Structure 1
């Protein structure tokens, strides 16, 4: 499966107020692996940048003055994302801006060029209700190094989001990983095949206490819907 992890930076928050895209980036995943192929362009918005937005991404009109316009790169951009599944954090925001840019050029909406859009913000909220689920928080939660992210940047953010997405969905391919994995411990497999006695390691009191504390936290976050605790009570 071909997937494209995408991010944009803009002049402001509302395309309906005339705000425009000033940076777009996309990185390619094929069969859940980064290929190294990416698309990245800075764009001249032909309008002022809101001060609040500039504080987020640090891009200025002086820097963007000699950059291409969206119309100049649209064919290349659409060719890069065509027939792929798009992965976007807070997808309605980026899709809204991209559709606005496409509409200004008389082109069809983004959804007509790709096979679907995955919103990782919605996914993270479903998996971690009541917690912070912005990109920085998810990087911290899943051990993704974001130490270079002092400002928002579309290419860096797309690369970080790709790693976060793979962490968020790691369980989806766990069986496939096991099926494809080489036999790393042939001696252990031989012992198992020869009916060697099974060694059982029991949890210590500290480990049991830590496990119970984790279940209590999960039960609290899920409002009493912790499946593990419910199963152990039956």
Structure 2
């Protein structure tokens, strides 16, 4: 059987500060290929080059990756400020309608970090520009210096809803994760279920209530060490199973709350 194709949402960069590229982290491709068992396909996330319809017809599922630019606040009815950081309007133009189409069709997606935030915004939710500035909240950002191992080190616990989707899938109600994000969910979007929180109350795991397909998204980065990490591996395995079901026209695995 041909492996399902996973569209990995690419990010825009300038190579050597002058050559524009669309790229995706190697760890994303490794997690998709080695754990999910699918073909990684990097998407040039710009409506000048691809349409949402073409992506839906080409791919069996989508990995909504992390990225430095944030979702533009105009997408959730707010005025941009310096605190909102950098933006990528071209990626917004692809991912937000893509999420809505996948939810409606039952086509699987897995949201990570910015991707987690995109899912919330696509369904009408809002974001904090900088959660570390809120009273009682921790700094969830990547350490400013250090090796990749230090940047992706496990730094805080996430507690899942007892008996919920993530608890049942991973087999533990509390897990230890990395954290590399500045923004966070304020108001959940339509049918967004917050199924896991950090100790400071920051939402860390969500899915879309009633959606016919795989819609799990996390605020941390499970692509790091996905082949060996006991939290990351079942997430990517379940995502791969959902993509295989979509590719063959089978009923998707049931991942809804008990």
| TM-score range for the pair, normalised by the shorter chain length | under 0.3
Where is the helix percentage greater, Structure 1 or Structure 2?
1
TM-score by length of 1: 0.28
- Work out which of the two has the higher radius of gyration on C-alpha atoms and give 1 or 2: 1
Give the alignment's TM-score, normalised by structure 2: 0.26
Higher share of residues assigned strand: 2
